[in-house]
Structure 1
Amino acid sequence: MLKNKNIKKTRSGFCTGKSFLSSPFFFLFPFSFLLFPLSSPLSSAILTVKQDGTGDYTIIQEAIDAAAMHDTVLVWPGTYYENLHIDTKPITLASHYLSTGEKQYIYQTIIDGSTIKNSVIVADIFPTGVTGTICGFSIQNGDARYNEINFPIDYNGVGGGILLYKANMVINNCVIKENLAYAVGGGVAAWYSIVQLSGNSICNNNSYLFGGGVWAGGGDYIEFDTLQLNSIYLNHSICGNDICKHFETVCTEFRIDTFTVAKDHGYCLYNYHSTNATPVFDYTLLVNHPVIDQFDADVYVSPLGDNDNSGLKPDEPLRNIWYAMTKINPDTNNQRTVHVMPGTYSPSTNGEIYPINARSNSCLLGEDMNSCILDAEQSWFHYSTHSRSYALALKKLKFINGNSFINDYHTYSGSIHFNWSCYNIALQDIMIENCIGLDAGGAKILTLDWISLENIHTFNNFGGFSLRTLYTDQPIRYAIMARNCSFLNNSYYLDMYGSGGGYFCGDVYTQIDPLVSTTSGMLVCNNESRDFWGGLEHLSTFAVTGGINNITNVTVADNVNKDDLPGAYSTWENMTSRVYNSIFYGNEHPSIILSVQPPLENPGELYIDYSLIEQGLDDIWNQQNFNILHYGVNNIEGNPLFTRTGDHPYQLQANSPCINTGTPMYEEGMEPPYIKEENGKYILYTHELDTIHLPATDLAGNPRIAYGRIDMGAYEFADTTVNIMKRPPKYLGGKIKVMPNPFRHSTAIEFTLLKEGRCVVKIHNLNGHLIKTLLDTFTVPGNFNMRWHADDDYGNKIPSGHYIINVIFEGENVGSVKVRRW
């Protein structure tokens, strides 16, 4: 507060009658920082701030409000819990370091922004060609995630410590630490501003997106003093841990005293193009003292470890994943692995800092996804990287409690956010649970190349689709492959945010979409969606919108829409989609949509074969009848008879009509679709003879083809009372053939034995009870043919249903075939 309204402001130098250039403070400003000297120095005044009441003011902001352009606000030591706004008038804001050159004043004069959630200092809208100064403070605990001062909404999330917007500024000899911005510039953000940095220490700041320490953008320039060097280290972000600069903001040389690493390739220092944040390497980085020594090796990390350990062996692990990722030396040839040892990695347990910035050509590898847990504790999402990163892998990990929700203005993912175009991404054995993100409740992955997803499971996530995979920008191989994944109980957020839903693959702009997507073995159940965008991909909980979409053994069941709108699965015009061996049941009706988007040019085609569609053709909506539907006579309707119990409630009951009714195994002369066994793997050939490589097992670990013919849905029925053989063993020459299958009155059984010995052929029901023994004798090698007349050992006709024919040789079950009697 102003102590004496009659205090006269001295208008010459700093109370000395001298000009600024001859003042005792001039030695603190090197020549390189006189590009914009304070103008009209003879009319400037000094306003003092002292907490004991002996100065002009006790509150810094009141002194700033009272100051005129070019005045100096001189602050005495103390901790000032304020969030400052320097509005339209360049001034000098300084501690006693300015007048004495004594560094203790930097640490004793603290501006702490923790009282409200805003930047510590905001300076904006200065007159053109005039520069202000901030000198000699510790600036800490800013939190620019929200806007609790009436600033424009564009300021939200920008500049945790200092935000400059159209305000040229000299920042010198400040300690800027422990500030947070959820968008850009954890320590300093210079937006359409010329910023000159001299002798500062900028450390331990965090920006969730760009520039953990410093961010500069808008086309002006940022200058790092080459005499009084800055130290910028151990800051955190996903694009430029320490420094991030838009390429139009001029700075060709970064000469730093202390920096996080000595060698960098877009990790701690990121210079980006406006198009998809593409990195541009048109600068030089010169570092005197790196904080972290890097090496060319894999590293180990444990929540019980220590960052002072070597990290090179399991018994010498580092403590933090972010630290381990930083230790890896940039390497374009060899993928490096961060071994994540069992335990929980969270802010409260081991001081983990999220989001973790992934290096190119790196693999984050756990031991088991149930024991290696990344818990963000609702602080932000877990994992991301910068644009054009490549060879990224995540394996055997569980991600829980991520939360990127700020408001409906900003949309990010809840857990994994690869929102910039990347190359060659692989996720395997990953679980994502209880995360919140409007762009994707769990993970969003954009690729220029290909994405491989295997054994991915999302549960109870909120916001957008729980997993979104898209290609963008001039793709190279344009392939997305998903195998044995499940998406359960995901929804929109707070009844009004995000689309909800399970799995999205492709892109809504399909006119020139060359994406090839393959989905094999997927469970999409009990998800909720809502239409927040007006497009059918947001009505659907399972949307696959590539140019060519091959889908097999998908169970899409019990999904609902907030407004009872139709659609569980959608595809679009100008696409070819093929669905095999799948189940659509218990969804909003019609559950399958062939949608259109003007202008209508090229119709899409949808093939559905060997699948259960609950209401048959009535369950398919072909909008304007524009697209072409190929609906096979081999499809069935009705109830698939899920077990509804245990860890896998969407497994099939023993009497399910989906058992042994999927795509048949190849017989000579057969037209596609069919399945072949080649080199020990099962391959489904589509109508156009494209191939889908089937996983070896289903979601429960059962053989993908258990009894000679694949089932419908994500699960293969397997009776644990019967020994199911995955492959014919050495005693059997080829497969056991049963024709016809299904049958009504009788069926022929053929097989070849390679050795002599006792052979028994038995038939069991699915409960394991013996029905009939067809053969029990000593045999010689050769071909064997027999016929079963649908009877038991007593000559009684058996009821309709599924049965298993077992060939037992020398006491070993050498082959089994599942058959069905109508």
Structure 2
Amino acid sequence: MKKNILIHIFMLLVCGLLFSNIITVDQTGAGDFLSIQEGINSAVDADTVLVHPGTYFENIDFIGKNITVSSLFLTTQEEDYVNETIINGNQNGSCVRIMSGEDSTTVLCGFTITNGSGSPWYEGCPSHGGAILFMDSQTSIIACNIFGNYAEIGGGIFCRNSQITLSDVDIIGNYADGGGGISTREYSEIYFDQNNLCNIYLNYAGRGCEILKAYSSPAMEVYVDTFTVFEPDAYFIMSTDTFAEPLNDVTMHIQNAKLTPINSDLYVATDGDNNNNGLTEDEPLATLNYALSLVKSDSLHPNTIHIKNGTYSRSLNNNFFPLCTRGYVSLIGESMDNTILDAEDLAMHLFNYHSAINYTIKNITFTHGNGENSFAACMFVNVRSRPNNFINIEDVIITDFTCTGRRLLELYNVDIYMNNVISLNNHSPTLRPSSSNQPEIDILIENSKFCNNDHDPSNGTVYQMLLGDSSFNPKNATLINCEITDNNSYQSEYPVRCSGIYVKYNVELTIINCTIGNNTSPNSGGPIVISSEGSGSSINIYNSVLYGDSPSEIYIDNEYSDNPASVTIQNSLVDGGCEGIQNVHTWNEVYWLDGNLDTDPLWQNEGEFPYMLTENSPCIDTGTLDLPDGIILPEFDLAGNPRISGDTIDMGAYEYQDSVVSQDIEIPINKTDINCYPNPFNPTTNIKLKLSESGIIKLKIYNLKGQVIRTILDAYASKGLLNIVWNGEDDFGRKVSSGQYFVRLEQNGNVIISKVLCLK
């Protein structure tokens, strides 16, 4: 049937040849011209430019002419001519541009179109349409192979304010930041021939791997012979409204699928092969893109892509960035120092927009990302109004980013847990979380270092880490055991600069055992700033060292007198003391409590850990263990030494190591609480109970259906700390499946519930 329909189209086109001028292009010199563009330049409306076999390293433009450009497939119907007549864009822009009002008589037929890099459709905009860029035109594309092209938007085809028909077109193996196969914008329609079916598969992008459709384009109905999978989700097809909420207005008619999704962990290695099954370390896949397309996203059965040591990049092994991450699919490297994702200053690394998250990124070094014309330099996540989403980032290094204009991590509307994250030697701000579409978010950053970073003042950012946004939704942030040192904020038109943490609306920030030093900002500012938009925000600082920062340690500039901000400091060393804190407005409060110091902390100032304390440091044994409810101190300091040594805890992120480590330090407990770590877990998690009173306690695990699957404890317990290990089994000794569970503690009529996630 398909062949008969093609013959029908062929006959119509051949009839057209009888009434048009035929211009031949042949690289051997036997035709009218040697290049396709020369043929187009000499043509007039209704002419046909007939191209003989060969590879044409060109970037052709129809320049408003309503003509047919075709290989000898047009006159012979021999499919070999499609493969033998190649338009190679030579990474010099779009291979084909049809963007000057061409009408519906315009036809492109019978070519292989490859190696395009897209073109801007106005000065300074990102590249669009790696293979073909359509604007303000109506065109039919017939019997073309489109593969191996790249653009920032629309790796294969980009269509703006145009109507195009695709007949027997293969769009395979193209990649983009957005819309790996096809991207539409404004009022654009794509008609898929229902008889001469297209193939669209294994294209890659940070959003919309196969299709990215703009809200302004009408609903799309796609007819294909082969698509990547039978049931594509938002990873493959993205269509959103003006608020970036899913429209679900792309209807798919798929006869065959290239891949069968695998609901299991997968393995990737630099010496892998995408023909392997990917199910074991001995049969790894070759690329992360392929693994992400193959793995199944399943909330009831979270999966992990395991990444072997090695460097993964576009030039080395065809790993294209950004990767479009998938909900409930974690990326875990073999080791944080030796599993390296190198974006080669071409793109950001990871992207996830308005789909579920709930995954872990672990044991990876991210380097050489680029956020120009993008959403972030390293990682962008935004689930918008989807509730109950989190992201865990553990044992990760982010280094050597030289981009401008974007933060490294833009993480919106998700709860964030960061542990052992090192941001080092970057020319970009590090972190910007947001809760504009969520009623509240929680951020916990532990055992992490933000060192020797700066940023370009031309991009308008004034901070290294932004907490808060223009919404008044609460943000609860806690930093424990972190180092923020040697960061620089350059001079700019903004009067207040921040070399560390910049706080806006309605943030409750708790800083415990952190070392903040030798950061510099011009004009006003410092490493901790409550901005002019810091309405209702509060900062509570315990056991921390703030020293050697310029021009001050803490700067408070909240302009909302009806909703003042506050800073509370206890058992901490602050250079300049209470008087050195710059409080611009009288309505904002500074609470200088007991145990604070204003003196030199006597850091080591050399070696692997220059901010460790020396033996005569005034910070030794001067901290407090009377900490806010729910705080669980880490077992080790930033150097890997026991967190408590000597009589009590020290100030700062590094504990001076006495010869004797104290084992029995009484920690005051004023409120009963639960803390589970690790979370997510596999196969066990520690359930740490802080009991503020004695009595009968009942500790049970519930599944999402509200069913009790495990009773861990039903007994009397004394006031204090209690640590219980759950081995991930139910009451019958069966391992529980991946998914979310609830830990329920009942004592003396009071109930506390904590969520844990099992990831396998």
CA distance in 2, matches of 1:362, 1:53: 55
Task: Find the aligned partners of 1:29 and 1:272 in 2 and give their Cα distance.
Answer: 38
Matched, 1:701 2:640: yes
The answer to whether structure 1 residue 113 and structure 2 residue 89 are counterparts is yes
- The answer on 1:530 being equivalent to 2:500 is no
- CA distance change for structure 1 residues 632 and 43 in 2, over 3 Å: closer, same or farther? farther
Give 1:470 shift. 2.5
**Structure 1 counterpart SS, 2:362:** strand
Cα-to-partner distance string for 1:710-750 (whole Å, 9 max, x where unaligned): 2221222223xx1314447xxxxx799xxxxxxxxxxxxxx
Give yes or no for the alignment of 1:717 onto 2:677. no
Answer with 354-363 or 385-394: which moved more.
Answer: 385-394
Match of 1:581 among 521, 534, 543: 543
One-letter amino acid of the structure 2 residue matched with residue 569 of structure 1: I
Alignment counterpart, residue 237 of structure 1, candidates 205, 208, 214: 205
Shift of 1:180: 0.8
For the structure 1 residues 532 and 273, does the alpha-carbon distance in structure 2 shift closer, same or farther, using more than 3 Å as the test? farther
Matched, 1:27 2:3: no
RMSD between superposed Cα atoms in Å: 3.0
Rounded to whole Å, the distance in 2 between the matches of 1:100 and 1:514 is: 68
How far off its partner does 1:102 sit? 1.5
Show the counterpart of 2:421.
456
Matches within 5 A, 1:323-722: 323-405=290-372, 410-418=373-381, 421=384, 423-440=389-406, 442-446=408-412, 448-463=413-428, 465-473=429-437, 475-492=438-455, 499=461, 502-507=464-469, 509=470, 512-530=472-490, 534=494, 536=496, 538-545=497-504, 546-561=506-521, 563=522, 565-571=524-530, 572-596=534-558, 601-663=562-624, 665=625, 675=626, 684-685=627-628, 691-719=630-658, 722=659
Separation (CA, whole Å) in 2 of partners of 1:252 and 1:80? 33
TM-score (norm 2): 0.80
Distance 1:472 1:576 in 2: 19
C-alpha separation between the residues in 1 aligned to 2:140 and 2:90? 24
The structure-2 alpha-carbon separation of the partners of 1:398 and 1:107, relative to structure 1 and needing over 3 Å to count, comes to same
Structure 2 SS opposite 1:462 = coil
Residues 576 and 25 of structure 1: is their aligned pair in 2 closer, same or farther, counting only changes over 3 Å? closer
How far did 1:631 drift? Answer: 2.4
What does the per-residue CA deviation read over 1:402-446, in whole Å, with 9 as the maximum and x for residues that have no partner? Answer: 3344xxxx2443322325647311111111111233344532222
Cα distance in structure 2, aligned partners of 1:98 and 1:131:
15
Tell me by how many angstroms 1:200 deviates.
Answer: 0.8
Q: Residue type matched to 2:644 in 1?
A: I
Contact residue 139 and residue 176 of structure 1 kept, 8 A: yes
Among residues 149, 165, 172, which one is paired with 1:179 in the alignment? Answer: 149
Change (3 A) 1:342 1:622: same
Aligned to 2:137: 167
Counterpart-to-counterpart distance in 1, 2:444 and 2:493: 26
CA drift of 1:80 comes to: 1.6
Provide the C-alpha distance between the structure 2 equivalents of 1:425 and 1:365, rounded to a whole number of angstroms. 13
Q: Does the 8 Å CA contact 1:124/1:164 hold for their aligned counterparts?
A: yes
Kept in 2, the 8 Å contact 1:491–1:500? The answer is no
Q: How does 1:283-302 map to 2 (within 5 A)?
A: 283-302=250-269
Distance in 2 (CA, whole Å) between partners of 1:282 and 1:115 is: 33
> Is the contact between residue 500 and residue 527 of structure 1 (CA under 8 Å) also seen in structure 2?
no
Report the CA distance shift for 1:497/1:252 in structure 2 as closer, same or farther (over 3 A): closer
Partner secondary structure for residue 196 of structure 2 = coil
Q: Distance in 2 between matches of 1:376 and 1:533?
A: 31
| Structure 1 position 25, deviation (Å) | 9.2
CA shift at 1:358, angstroms? Answer: 1.0
Residues 470-493 of structure 1 show CA distances to partners (whole Å, capped at 9, x for unaligned) of 3332x0441111111111111225
- CA distance in 1 between counterparts of 2:647 and 2:155 reads 60
Deviation at 1:564, TM superposition (A): 5.4
Alignment gaps of 5+ in structure 2: 669-760
The superposition leaves residues 495-552 of structure 1 with CA deviations (integer Å, 9 ceiling, x where unpaired) of: 8567485433322x25x2311112222111111223557374x533222435222222
Offset, 1:141: 0.9
1:303 to partner: Cα distance: 1.8
> For residues 641-677 of structure 1, what are the alpha-carbon distances to aligned partners after superposition, in whole Å with 9 as ceiling and x for unaligned?
11112221111111111122223x4xxxxxxxxx2xx
1:122 counterpart = 2:97: yes
2:112 aligns to what?
138
C-alpha displacement of 1:64:
2.5
How far apart, CA to CA, are the structure 1 residues paired with 2:126 and 2:42?
26
Supply the AA of the counterpart residue of 2:355. R
| Structure 2 contact 189–220 (Cα < 8 Å) conserved | no
* Structure 1 residue 130 displacement after superposition: 4.2
Matched, 1:311 2:278: yes
Q: Is the 8 A contact 1:120 1:139 kept in 2?
A: yes
Give the SS at the match of 1:560.
coil
Identity %: 32
Q: State whether residues 36 and 51 of structure 2, in contact with CA within 8 Å, keep that contact through their aligned partners in structure 1.
A: yes
- Find the residue that maps to 2:585 and give its secondary structure: helix
| Cα displacement (A) at 1:619 | 2.8
Rounded to whole Å, the distance in 1 between the matches of 2:359 and 2:164 is 35
Give the Cα separation in 1 of the matches to 2:541 and 2:353: 35
Cα distance in 1, alignment partners of residues 47 and 667 from structure 2 = 92
Q: Once structures 1 and 2 are overlaid, which stretch shifts more, 516-525 or 303-312?
A: 303-312
Q: Which moved more, 1:298-307 or 1:225-234?
A: 298-307
Give 5+ residue unaligned stretches, structure 1: 1-23, 32-36, 666-674, 676-683, 729-733, 737-822
Q: Secondary structure at the match of 1:255?
A: strand
Paired residue type of 1:219: Y
| C-alpha distance 283-25 of structure 1, shift in aligned 2 (>3 A) | closer
Cα distance in structure 2, aligned partners of 1:113 and 1:583? 57
Residues 522 and 555, structure 1, Cα contact 8 Å, conserved in 2:
yes
TM-score (norm: length of structure 1): 0.74
Asked if the contact 1:487–1:503 (Cα under 8 Å) also holds between the matched residues in 2, the reply is: no
Is residue 140–residue 177 contact of structure 1 (8 Å, CA) maintained in 2? Answer: yes
Match of 2:174 in 1: 205
**1:403–1:156: structure 2 CA closer, same or farther, 3 Å change rule?**
closer
Structure number with larger C-alpha Rg: 1
Distance 2:431 2:368 in 1: 15
Within-5 A mapping of 1:713-752: 713-719=652-658, 722-727=659-664
Report the equivalent of 2:721: none
Amino acid at match of 2:234: G
> Which one-letter code corresponds to 1:385 in the other structure?
N
**CA distance, structure 2, for counterparts of residue 662 and residue 591 of structure 1:** 19
Structure 1 residues 229 and 504, CA gap change in structure 2 (3 angstroms): same
1:532 and 1:232 mapped to 2: Cα distance?
48
Q: Deviations over 1:98-138 (max 9, x none)?
A: 2222112212221111162x1111222416x7452221111
Deviates more, 1:357-366 or 1:313-322: 313-322
DSSP-derived class of the 1:88 partner: coil
